[in-house]
């Protein structure tokens, strides 16, 4: 069998390699004269790469900020401390007004010596625009979710303060119960946001141990039952289920989120089915079926992303993202399928031993 052809590193054209990068590259010599401009950089800077060779770096990398300052003058790559080796990434504007992220390496042949070469990297700022949009979505979602319970709390408290003597005990109790419920909703939203931040940054704290599966499932079901008129049934194997390896609070949060999602989007009963592992060390399967409209196969993967919402029945759009993050942090999996009654089926496979990564 003929071995695959390998191109020696010496045969590679460095210019062609740099032209294939998604980032633009500009290289200047010790005198600040441009010696190389990649194709991507030439497009970003709107210059002819051949015509700018030998010109001043500050003239070629003509970037400004919102206040009119220029990149070269503000960073002074050939001046400053002799210990500098890099220029931190900063956002600057092209002539077209498009934002790019710029950083640079300052090459010295010896420590503390003069700069002999400057390698500038220009990266598209589109990811920052996407981040800004995500932040805007977060602000909009939080504002929307906070407005309703806060409005209720403020209204009932105002009524209690202004009409206390004219209200009977039953009316006062109803208003205070509603305020308490809205406060719980606010607390829940704040907890969700904190969990999202911890999942995103990898700072999620878990305290897992072997716990009784049926006990936790029963607690979650009874908690959701108390807040809805919808029928929630539990079916399981005749034999006793093995203990799962879980942080009890996080497992309850996972199953409660799935159940509440099934209640919110379903129209009939909700069925929770427990299945023992198919093998000795396999996961316990918890299946939740609703009788709603279901989730189309082509959008199921999006259900576990932040701020994803299906239908017009409210919610923060964070529930299934947290479900997926907490389950995978334990070494389990979550999948969405079709329920026999035509609704959505969520299957949680939870390990019976420690399957955490690392």
Domain ranges of the chain: 19-124, 129-201, 209-350
Q: Does the domain spanning 129-201 belong to CATH 1.10.287.130?
A: yes
Displacement of CA 57 from its chain's centroid (Å): 39
Cβ–Cβ contacts within 10 Å for residue 88, how many?
8
Place of tokens 């609703």: 290
270-275 and 232-235 as β-strands: parallel, antiparallel, unpaired?
Answer: parallel
pLDDT at 1: 45
Predicted local confidence at residue 9, as pLDDT? 47
Check: CB of residue 152 under 8 Å from CB of residue 179: yes
Residue 165, number of CB atoms within 10 A of its CB: 5
Per-residue pLDDT tens, the chain, 358 aa: give them.
Answer: 444 444 454 455 777 878 888 899 999 999 999 999 999 999 999 999 999 999 999 999 999 987 888 999 999 999 988 889 999 888 888 888 888 889 999 999 988 899 999 999 998 877 666 666 666 766 776 777 778 788 888 999 999 999 999 999 999 999 999 898 888 878 878 888 888 888 888 888 899 999 999 999 999 999 999 888 889 999 988 678 899 999 999 999 999 999 988 998 877 899 999 998 876 567 999 999 998 888 888 888 888 887 777 665 556 678 888 999 999 999 999 999 999 878 899 999 999 999 887 5
CATH fold for the domain made of 19-124:
Beta-Lactamase (3.30.450)
SS3 content of the chain, % helix, strand, coil (to 5): 40, 20, 40
Q: Is 355 exposed, middle or buried (0-12, 13-18, 19+ CB in 10 A)?
A: middle
CATH of 209-350, one of 3.40.50.10300, 1.10.287.110, 3.20.20.70, 3.30.565.10: 3.30.565.10
247 in helix, strand or coil?
coil
**Token digits of residue 221:** 């079901």
Cα-flanking dihedrals φ and ψ of residue 221, to 5°?
-65, -45
CB atoms within 10 A of CB 32: 17
For residue 33, count CB atoms less than 10 angstroms from its CB and return exposed for 0-12, middle for 13-18, buried for 19 or more. Answer: middle
Residue 121 · residue 24 · CB < 8 Å = yes
- What phi and psi values does residue 305 have, to the nearest 5 degrees? -95, 160
pLDDT at 5: 46
Q: Which residues contact 294 (CB under 8 A, 6 or more apart)?
A: 338, 339, 342, 343, 344
Strand, coil or helix: what is 5?
coil
Q: Are 109 and 152 in contact (CB under 8 A)?
A: no
3-class secondary structure, 169: helix
């Amino acid at each position: 069998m003929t071995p695959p052809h390998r191109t020696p590193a010496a045969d590679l054209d460095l210019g062609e390699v740099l032209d294939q990068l998604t980032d633009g590259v500009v290289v200047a010599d010790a005198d600040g004269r441009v010696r190389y401009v990649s194709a991507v950089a030439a497009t970003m800077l709107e210059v002819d790469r051949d015509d700018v060779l030998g010109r001043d770096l500050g003239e070629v990398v003509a970037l400004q900020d919102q206040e009119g300052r220029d990149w070269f003058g503000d960073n002074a790559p050939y001046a400053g401390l002799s210990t500098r080796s890099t220029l931190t990434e900063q956002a600057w504007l092209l002539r077209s007004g498009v934002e790019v992220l710029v950083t640079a390496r300052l090459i010295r042949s010896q420590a503390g010596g003069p700069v002999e070469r400057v390698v500038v990297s220009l990266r598209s700022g589109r990811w920052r625009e996407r981040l800004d949009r995500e932040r805007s979505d977060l602000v909009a979602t939080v504002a929307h979710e906070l407005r309703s319970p806060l409005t209720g709390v403020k209204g009932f408290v105002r009524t209690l303060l202004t009409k206390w003597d004219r209200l009977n005990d039953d009316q006062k109790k109803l208003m205070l119960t509603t305020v308490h419920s809205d406060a719980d909703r606010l607390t829940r939203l704040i907890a969700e946001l904190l969990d999202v931040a911890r999942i995103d940054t990898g700072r999620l704290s878990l305290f897992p141990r072997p716990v009784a599966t049926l006990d936790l499932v029963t607690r979650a079901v009874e908690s959701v039952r108390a807040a809805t008129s919808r029928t929630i049934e539990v079916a399981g194997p005749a034999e006793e289920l093995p203990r799962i390896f879980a942080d009890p609070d996080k497992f309850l949060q996972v199953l409660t989120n799935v159940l509440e999602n099934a209640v919110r989007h379903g129209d009939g009963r909700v069925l929770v089915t427990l299945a023992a592992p198919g093998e000795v060390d396999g996961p316990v399967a918890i299946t939740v079926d609703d009788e709603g409209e279901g989730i189309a196969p082509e959008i199921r993967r999006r259900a576990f992303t932040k701020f994803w919402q299906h239908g017009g029945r409210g919610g923060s759009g964070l529930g299934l993202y947290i479900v997926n993050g907490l389950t995978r942090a334990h070494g389990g999996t979550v999948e969405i399928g079709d329920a026999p009654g035509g609704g959505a089926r969520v299957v949680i496979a939870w390990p019976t031993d420690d399957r955490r990564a690392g």
